[in-house]
Amino acid sequence: MARIVLNNIAHRYGAVTSSSATQSTGDAASYALKPLSHVWEDGGAYALLGPSGCGKTTLLNIISGLITPSQGQLLFDDNDVSQLPTEQRNIAQVFQFPVLYDTMTVAENLAFPLRNRRGINKLSDAEIKQRVAEAITMLGLEKLAHQKARGLSADDKQKISLGRGLVRTDVNAILFDEPLTVIDPHLKWQLRTQLKQIHRQFGHTMIYVTHDQTEALTFADKVVVMLAGEVIQTGTPEDLFKHPLHTFVGKFIGSPGMNILRCGLDGNEAIVDTFRIALPCHYPVLPGTLELGIRPEFIRIVNQGEGMPVTISAIEDVGRHRIVRALLGSQALDIVVPEGVGIPSHAEVIFETGNIGIYHNSRLVNSTNTGVS
């Protein structure tokens, strides 16, 4: 296990690589991964979350050594591994699609990375047998242990790939690149739960890449949200939900995501279309684009005359609550209404003042009014 430190790491495909931590030449727009400094603590469970093309797999492959960064320094604990090949980093990596040997049995596939170890890391046959047995039990593959991988389902093949990463207990980190993409939905929850149990048991440093917020929020202790090659927020699932620092985080996290409404400011009030909405504090005059952010869970539907009138366009019943799609003036608004709460024919809404955020050029204005978070 290792503490992983990124020191001004960046990457441009086709660029000349450098181990210098201070190199900063080139147009920032050309970076697949913009200059980044970050720390993953030893033994933590982390997720890299973002849309396709945001740089999360590039970052993961820099950590594993499949990509040499264009600039910056990568440390495992205090050791600079920036230029080391993958095999010298003691990393286990699980890819999006199964990577295994079709002519080997399930047990042989799991044993293969252990049998290839040499020198002081070489394991005895008894140790290999024990670890393989533990991995087979962990993943529920007992009935398939002696079957060839060739004829197995995509689900079972990916479980073997997971096992090949998890069978090694002394790695610096285990990296997962969207490992549940090919898994049937009903098995995803089970496997995520197993990964969490494995993390608690062994304390591996785990980094999990996904575009699925549910996978990220249920697996990770901390989530790193990426957009356009840049980390825009790192925090616990609760932090990301309650205190998004960027409008993208607000929209990307949650189902439905945060309402982002164009607004103006007048001291301790926001002006949305013709409506004045009380804010938790006084805001200064800010040039540029201003937006009000509030999650659908923090909007209450009230009777006529008690709030701001809305025009309801649709109501979606998802079981434990309903999602009301509406317009506040000319702007779209989503509202989460608990089961059993009535929706009047002439509905109006109230925003919970303490859960409103003001965003300036997409970034949250901090509560001390000293600028952008």
Q: What is the DSSP string of 228-286?
A: TTEEEEEE-HHHHHH--SBHHHHHHSSSS--EEEE-EEETTEEEETTEEEE-SS-----
Which whole-number Å values give the CA distances from 19 to 9, 63, 116, 172, 189, in the listed order? 9, 14, 30, 21, 40
- pLDDT at residue number 121: 72
The amino acid sitting at 295 is: R
Q: Output the CA torsion 140→142→143→146 (10° steps).
A: 130
Tell me the domains of the chain and their CATH numbers. Answer: 4-235 (3.40.50.300), 247-364 (2.40.50.140)
φ/ψ of residue 239, rounded to 5 = -60, -45
As a 3-state breakdown, the chain gives helix, strand, coil percent values, each rounded to 5, of 30, 30, 40
Whose tokens are 């007992």? That residue is 142
Q: How far is CA 357 from the centre of its chain?
A: 22
Dist CA 192 CA 371 (whole Å): 39
> How confident is the model at residue 338, as a pLDDT?
92
User: Is the Cβ–Cβ distance between 9 and 73 less than 8 Å?
Assistant: yes
- Write the pLDDT tens digit of every residue in 275-291: 999 999 999 989 999 99
- Which segments of the chain have a pLDDT < 70? 15-29, 120, 367-373
**pTM above threshold 0.95:** no
The three-state secondary structure class of 69 is: coil
163 and 113 Cβ atoms separated by less than 8 Å: no
pLDDT at res. 169 = 74
Cβ-proximal residues to 32 (8 Å cutoff; 6+ apart), any chain:
11, 12, 13, 55, 58, 229
Residue 156 CA, chain-centre distance (Å), reads: 25
> CB of 40 within 8 A of CB of 208?
no
For residue 25, the model assigns a pLDDT of: 46
DSSP lists the bridge partners of residue 148 as 105
Looking only at Cα atoms, what is the longest distance across the chain? 78
Integer Cα distance of 208 and 102 in angstroms: 26
pLDDT at 98: 84
> What single DSSP character describes residue 25?
-
Residue 318 to residue 201: CA distance in whole angstroms? 36
Q: Which residues contact 342 (CB under 8 A, 6 or more apart)?
A: none
